[in-house]
Each structure stands twice: as structure tokens, then as C-alpha cells.
């Protein structure tokens, strides 16, 4: 089993103390990318291998060269059973990779509803921001994962949190034409006329991108076309 799925072989050893220590060290040997056998098994959803490695006391929260833990890898792959196994054994929910992303960011951006729900049940931080300022809700909105957006909002995620450009999840969803997400965010009270650092609003970015359905949704829900920054009036030269 370990020979098939581990990045390095885990050799059989006898029960002497020296060999036990050596075996545990081999369990956590890293490859050229900093990945351990547990990273590899989690990345491929190999639940039984993960279980075996945990029995050998593999490090749960070890990070690879990208700062990702085995839980990151399982979350981005949507492997719910592996995620559950890691969490049950004490994996930390909120470790950030080099981009400041947690496992919840990864699951939310990929749209894995069951994994998101599981991480939420284990008290993953909902509003933790990555280096670019995006939260899991922002990621889910950006990629149009409406059910993930619902889960996060139902569990208390902040709806108008801004990224480093001052853009809200509604702005991001509007810019990408995510009609269903826009509906959900509006139904949950998102600020419809919120401006980002460039002075642009959800309506303006939707209009400039030709997102006609989103434009209609925003108008029907009271978006103002004359918000400062949306239109520059023409002036007659003297």
C-alpha cells in the first residue's frame, strides 16, 4: 500500500526502539517539492493510505514548499472522507499556504459543498483573508458556487468584506456574470452600491462587461446609476 502511493518507500522494521524512530522519520520524508507521503496520499484521496500513515504518527500539519498541508491537498481535491479523517485526528483548519489561503479557501474556490460544510463544522474561520484580501466567501462568489455561498452565509460569513482592491463578493460576482450568486448576495443584504478603490460599483462593472442579466438584477434591486464614480457628466467647452 505505501509502496504504491507514498513518494518514498516506507520500509518494514522490527519493533526495536531504534527502528521505530527511524520508521517514523521515514514516514515524514519530503520529496523535492517538500511533500511527504501524507501530502501525496491526501492529494489523491487515498483514504486507507492516509489512515495507515496516521497510525504511523505521520505529521498532520507538515507544510510543503507552497505552505500547503495535507488538509489543503485533500480539500482542493474534494476528498471529503480524507478531510474528515485528517480533521478527526487533529489537523489544524486554518493553516495558511504561501498565498495566505486556508483549506476552506481551497474548498470554497473549487465548489466542494460537502468539504466546506465539514470544515465549517470543525470551526474553520469563515472570514480569514488571503494575501490578496479574499475570503472563502469571496472565492465562492468569484467562481459562481452558489451553494457554497449559501453555506457560508448561513454560518455567519461577512457578506461585504473587501479584498485588497476594496471589492466585495457582490462586486466580484457581478464582474464575472454570476447571476445566481448575485441574487443570493442581494437577498442576504449585500451593499448594492458599494464602491471599490477605483470608485467602481457592481452595476458599473457589470455594465462595462456586458453582463446584461446582472445589470437587470441590480436595477430591480435598487442599484443607483448616478453613484459618484459611475458616470462622468459631459461638459460643454467654453
The predicted model scores a pTM of 0.86
In a domain, 235, yes or no: no
Which range of residues forms the domain containing residue 194?
126-224
Angstrom distance (rounded) from CA 196 to CA 212: 21
- For the chain, the domain total comes to 2
- Same domain membership, residue 81 and residue 156: no
Which of these three, 69, 103, 137, is where a domain ends?
103
233 SS3 class = coil
Angstrom distance (rounded) from CA 222 to CA 21: 66
Report pLDDT for 78. Answer: 99
- Digit-coded pLDDT (tens) for 62-99: 999 999 999 999 999 999 999 999 999 999 999 999 99
CATH number of the domain residue 213 falls in? 1.25.40.20
- Digit-coded pLDDT (tens) for 180-204: 999 999 999 999 999 999 999 999 9
* Phi, psi (deg, nearest 5) at residue 23: -60, -40
176 SS3 class = coil
In a domain, 213, yes or no: yes
- Same domain membership, residue 68 and residue 147: no
Which residues, given as ranges, of the chain have pLDDT below 50? 1-8, 10-21, 230-231, 234
- Same domain membership, residue 99 and residue 131: no
The answer to whether 169 and 176 are in contact (CB under 8 A) is: no
In a domain, 115, yes or no: no
Which of these three, 68, 103, 138, is where a domain ends?
103
- Same domain membership, residue 94 and residue 5: yes
Amino acid at each position: 500500500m505505501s509502496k504504491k502511493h507514498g513518494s518514498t518507500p516506507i520500509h518494514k522494521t522490527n519493533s526495536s526502539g531504534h527502528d521505530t524512530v527511524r520508521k517514523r522519520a521515514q514516514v515524514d520524508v519530503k520529496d523535492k517539492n517538500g511533500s511527504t507521503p501524507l501530502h501525496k496520499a491526501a492529494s489523491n484521496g487515498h483514504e486507507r493510505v492516509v489512515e495507515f500513515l496516521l497510525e504511523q504518527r505521520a505529521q498532520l500539519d507538515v507544510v510543503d514548499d507552497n505552505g500547503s498541508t495535507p488538509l489543503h491537498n485533500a480539500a482542493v481535491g474534494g476528498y471529503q472522507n480524507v478531510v474528515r479523517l485528517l480533521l478527526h485526528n487533529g489537523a489544524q483548519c486554518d493553516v495558511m499556504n504561501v498565498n495566505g489561503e486556508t483549506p476552506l479557501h481551497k474548498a470554497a474556490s473549487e465548489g466542494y459543498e460537502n468539504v466546506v460544510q465539514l470544515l465549517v463544522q470543525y470551526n474553520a474561520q469563515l472570514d480569514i483573508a488571503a494575501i490578496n484580501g479574499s475570503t472563502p466567501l469571496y472565492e465562492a462568489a468569484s467562481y459562481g458556487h452558489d451553494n457554497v455561498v449559501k453555506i457560508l452565509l448561513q454560518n455567519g460569513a461577512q457578506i461585504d468584506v473587501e479584498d485588497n482592491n476594496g471589492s466585495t463578493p457582490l462586486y466580484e460576482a457581478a464582474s464575472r456574470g454570476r447571476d445566481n450568486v448575485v441574487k443570493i448576495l442581494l437577498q442576504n443584504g449585500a451593499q448594492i452600491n458599494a464602491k471599490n478603490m477605483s470608485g467602481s460599483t457592481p452595476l458599473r462593472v457589470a455594465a462595462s462587461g456586458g453582463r446584461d442579466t446582472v445589470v437587470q438584477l441590480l436595477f430591480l434591486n435598487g442599484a443607483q446609476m448616478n453613484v459618484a464614480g459611475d458616470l462622468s457628466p459631459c461638459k460643454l467647452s467654453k
